[in-house]
């Protein structure tokens, strides 16, 4: 029995549990492992992921079954398990929260926060729920100068962080209510 087959059931249970905790209580993920007659760059097995988010639905290839938000949650679950098993020192999430908001963003932020206890987690996000959970907050700004895009990264102090989170919350003119909500998120 190959290692992929040996660990498949255990991994599926862990992933299902985590995905279900992210607002998909009936989701199932199945790791399909089939043996090939020939070797390729990843060994002799052909691995695929089958997924359903809904009770009573048939498992289908994940690329055909998952919406953008569902895929974001599945990717976070997979990457969090990978990070734990490989004992990665750093993991970078580039908009892993695409397609989610509100309570699900909070749950994703909690998973990333737990991960940050044993590794460095860098999250590129547009969601205030995710940004507010970080130990540090860096602001990336892009501007065009002489037809060339220039990126600037700056570390935000406590007051600038409140303003940035409030901006993320309001999307426009920052109100006192948005600032207060930002303060609450940052607690």
Question: Could you tell me if residue 154 is inside a domain?
Answer: no
Quote the pLDDT of residue 19.
Answer: 97
Domain housing 16: 3-135
Mean pLDDT by 10 residues, the chain (187 residues): 80 96 96 86 86 96 95 95 88 94 94 94 96 96 95 97 96 94 96
Q: Please give the model's pTM, rounded to 2 decimal places.
A: 0.84
**Number of Cα atoms under 13 Å in the Cβ half of residue 7:** 9
Q: How many domains does the chain have?
A: 1
* 155 domain-assigned: no
C-alpha dihedral, 178 to 179 to 184 to 187, nearest 10°:
140
CATH of the domain at 11: 3.40.50.300
Tell me if 67 is assigned to some domain: yes
For residues 122 and 92, give the distance between their C-alpha atoms in angstroms, rounded to a whole number: 5
Domain contains 146: no
pLDDT at residue 18, rounded to an integer: 96
Specify the residue for token string 């569902």: 70
Q: What is the pLDDT of residue 1?
A: 52
């Amino acid at each position: 029995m190959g290692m992929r087959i040996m660990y498949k059931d255990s991994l599926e249970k862990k992933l299902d549990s985590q995905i279900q905790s992210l607002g998909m209580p009936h989701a199932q993920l199945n790791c399909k492992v089939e043996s090939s007659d020939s070797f390729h760059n990843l060994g002799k097995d052909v691995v695929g992921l089958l997924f359903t988010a809904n009770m009573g639905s048939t498992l289908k290839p994940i690329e055909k079954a998952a919406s953008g938000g569902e895929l974001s949650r599945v990717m976070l679950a997979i990457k969090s398990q990978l990070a734990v098993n490989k004992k990665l020192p750093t993991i970078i999430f580039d908009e892993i929260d695409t397609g989610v908001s509100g309570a699900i963003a909070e749950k994703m932020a909690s998973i990333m926060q737990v991960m940050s206890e044993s590794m460095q987690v860098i999250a590129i996000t547009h969601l205030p729920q995710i940004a507010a959970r970080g130990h540090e907050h860096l602001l990336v700004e892009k501007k065009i100068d002489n037809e060339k895009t220039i990126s600037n990264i700056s570390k935000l102090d406590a007051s600038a962080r409140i303003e940035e989170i409030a901006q993320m919350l309001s999307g426009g003119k920052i109100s006192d209510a948005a600032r207060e909500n930002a303060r609450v998120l940052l607690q």
